[in-house]
């Protein structure tokens, strides 16, 4: 496939649109389609044959990857649905055809403050201090953080990472912007902020290492393809845990859907995307890794999102200091475990520290705790770890990591 890039191209933000007739009003890059091929399909041959089927359409290969056999085409927006249907008809070569969906980060900003008694409330709540008597982590347990960017010069992070990667730049050049791309820095600090350095606080698993993977472009946009690239980069670099603190970008009307309508969407919508993510998560499990992902901040049942329907990941909801589900947290049977997600103190760019709320904060708390459990019990399988954390879901009370380590003995 001459002159075609194997890296994700930057996104034309003018093409991001709410998709007509999508029951959740989701957003996608409207001139792109993603085609996922069956394992034995030759990408070059498929592209040539597909373009011949549509001689009057300009179909440009925007991106392709051998990992999970995928191609992204740039097409005329007005012809997109027709072209997708032509691709779906090729059942001998094609598994899935989807839009290039846009994801959003799952944080809310809370009141700023430093040196507050609130700084460590969640450590006590989930038994981190007791767990540290057994382990503070193992540097061989690498936790990939797939997010919008990272300030790796931060005092709390500069000694805590390995093999950074930017899927858009196709380089190790990851970066953060204080006003728009601070999310990943905060998430990373929750997991591995350095201990005993006379600055800030420590992460949940301060002696583990993170693999920081920037999956957003310079505008902070995260898409299906950049997320998949991040997952496969993490696996290639031996991540044992992969934290994903993002969720689908839905329209405001979706937050007002009745529970009945939400369950109808869960049951009848987005099956193709559900199968795609289930396959990806099965690959992750076979590579002996565990995905931990934020449930979402829309207050709906998490499983309206097809990425949140698999039993092969740990899906994390958020609680407040009173052990109640946070008002914003997604919920429902798909949520494996709840963790603190309000007033979470962690790192921000330029050596700053501050509080954020969100399932984006609850997820790395759990990812760090998974790191502690694996540090103490490295022979546990992903299925065993997922089952261990899933038993903690009673919709209200967060888990205790010290108890989980003890139960694993």
| 2 in a structural domain | no
Q: Is 147 a catalytic residue?
A: yes
At which of 102, 119, 134 does a domain end? Answer: 102
360 is catalytic: yes
Per DSSP, the three-state class of 71 is strand
Per 3-state DSSP, the chain is made up of helix, strand and coil in percentages (nearest 5) of 35, 25, 45
Q: 206 with 193: CB under 8 angstroms?
A: yes
d(CA 189, CA 208) in angstroms, rounded, equals 12
Supply the CATH number for residue 47's domain.
Answer: 3.30.70.80
Q: Does some domain include residue 210?
A: yes
The token pair that represents 98 in the structure block: 């989807």
3-state secondary structure of 47: helix
- One domain, residues 323 and 288: yes
DSSP class of residue 245 equals -
Same domain flag for 371 and 284 = yes
Say whether both 57 and 195 belong to one domain.
no
Q: Which two tokens stand for residue 277?
A: 């993510």
Positive or negative: CA dihedral 285, 286, 289, 291: negative
Q: Which domain holds residue 308?
A: 105-407
Same domain (yes/no): 150, 257: yes
- Residue 50 three-state SS: helix
Residue 6 lies in a domain: no
Q: Are residues 93 and 109 located together in one domain of the fold?
A: no
Candidate list 74, 225, 346, 360, residue with the active-site label: 360
**Are 88 and 142 part of one and the same domain?**
no
Q: Which residues contact 54 (CB under 8 A, 6 or more apart)?
A: 83, 86
- The reply to whether 21 and 138 lie within a common domain is no
Is 209 part of a structural domain of the chain? yes
Classify residue 4: in a domain, yes or no.
Answer: no
Cα–Cα distances (Å) from 117 to 67, 120, 121, 384, in that order, read 46, 7, 8, 36
Task: Select from 119, 120, 133, 122 the least CA-distant residue to 402.
Answer: 133
Pair (133, 245) in one structural domain: yes
Q: Quote the tokens at residue 66.
A: 């051998």
Task: Look at the chain and report how many structural domains it folds into.
Answer: 2
In a structure prediction context, what are the per-residue pLDDT tens digits for the chain, which is 409 residues long?
444 445 666 788 889 999 888 999 999 999 999 999 999 999 999 999 999 999 988 999 998 988 889 999 999 999 999 999 999 999 999 999 999 999 987 655 443 333 455 788 888 889 999 999 999 999 999 999 999 999 999 999 999 999 999 999 999 999 998 777 899 999 999 999 998 888 888 999 999 999 999 999 988 889 999 999 999 999 999 999 999 999 888 888 888 899 999 999 999 999 999 999 999 999 999 999 999 999 999 999 999 999 999 999 999 999 999 989 999 999 999 999 999 999 999 999 999 999 999 999 999 999 999 999 999 999 999 999 999 998 765 544 678 898 888 876 5
Q: Which of 31, 183, 229, 346 is catalytic?
A: 183
Catalytic, out of 31, 74, 138, 147: 147
CATH number for the domain harbouring residue 193: 3.40.50.200
Residue 5 lies in a domain: no
Q: Are residues 137 and 265 in the same domain?
A: yes
Tell whether 211 and 355 lie within a shared domain.
yes
Question: 215 and 138: one domain?
Answer: yes
């Amino acid at each position: 496939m001459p002159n075609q890039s194997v890296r994700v191209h930057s996104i034309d933000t003018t093409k991001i649109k709410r998709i007509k007739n999508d029951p959740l009003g989701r957003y996608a890059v409207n001139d792109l389609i993603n085609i996922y091929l069956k394992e034995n399909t030759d990408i070059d041959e498929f592209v040539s044959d597909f373009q011949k089927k549509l001689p009057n359409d300009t179909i440009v290969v925007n991106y392709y990857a051998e990992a999970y056999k995928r191609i992204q085409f740039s097409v005329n927006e007005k012809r997109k649905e027709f072209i997708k249907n032509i691709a779906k008809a090729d059942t001998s070569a094609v598994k899935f055809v989807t839009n290039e969906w846009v994801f959003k980060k799952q944080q809310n900003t809370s009141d700023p403050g430093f040196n507050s008694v609130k700084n460590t409330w969640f450590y006590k709540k989930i038994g981190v201090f007791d767990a540290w008597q057994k382990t503070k982590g193992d540097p061989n347990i690498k936790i990939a953080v797939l997010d919008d960017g990272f300030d790796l010069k931060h005092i709390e992070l500069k000694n805590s990472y390995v093999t950074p990667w930017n899927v858009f730049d196709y380089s190790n050049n990851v970066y953060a912007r204080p006003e728009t791309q601070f999310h990943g820095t905060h998430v990373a600090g929750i997991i591995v902020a350095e201990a005993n350095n006379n600055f800030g606080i420590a992460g949940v698993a301060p002696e583990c290492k993170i693999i920081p993977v920037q999956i957003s472009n310079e505008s902070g946009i995260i898409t299906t393809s950049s997320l998949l690239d991040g997952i496969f980069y993490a696996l290639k670099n031996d991540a044992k845990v992969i934290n994903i603190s993002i969720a689908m970008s839905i329209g405001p009307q979706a937050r007002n859907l009745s529970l009945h309508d939400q369950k109808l969407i869960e049951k009848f919508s987005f099956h193709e995307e559900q199968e795609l993510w289930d396959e990806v998560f099965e690959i992750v499990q076979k590579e002996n890794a565990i995905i931990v992902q934020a449930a979402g901040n829309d207050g709906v049942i998490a499983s309206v999102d097809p990425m949140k329907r698999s039993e092969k990941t740990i899906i994390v909801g958020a609680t407040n200091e009173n052990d109640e589900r946070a008002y914003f947290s997604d919920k429902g049977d798909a949520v494996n475990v709840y963790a603190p997600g309000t007033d979470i103190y962690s790192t921000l760019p330029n050596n700053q520290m501050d509080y954020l709320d969100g399932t984006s904060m609850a997820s790395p708390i759990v990812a760090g705790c998974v790191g502690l459990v694996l540090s103490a019990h490295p022979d546990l399988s992903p299925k065993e770890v997922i089952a261990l954390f899933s038993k903690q879901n009673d919709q209200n009370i967060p888990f205790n990591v010290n108890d989980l380590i003890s139960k694993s003995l």
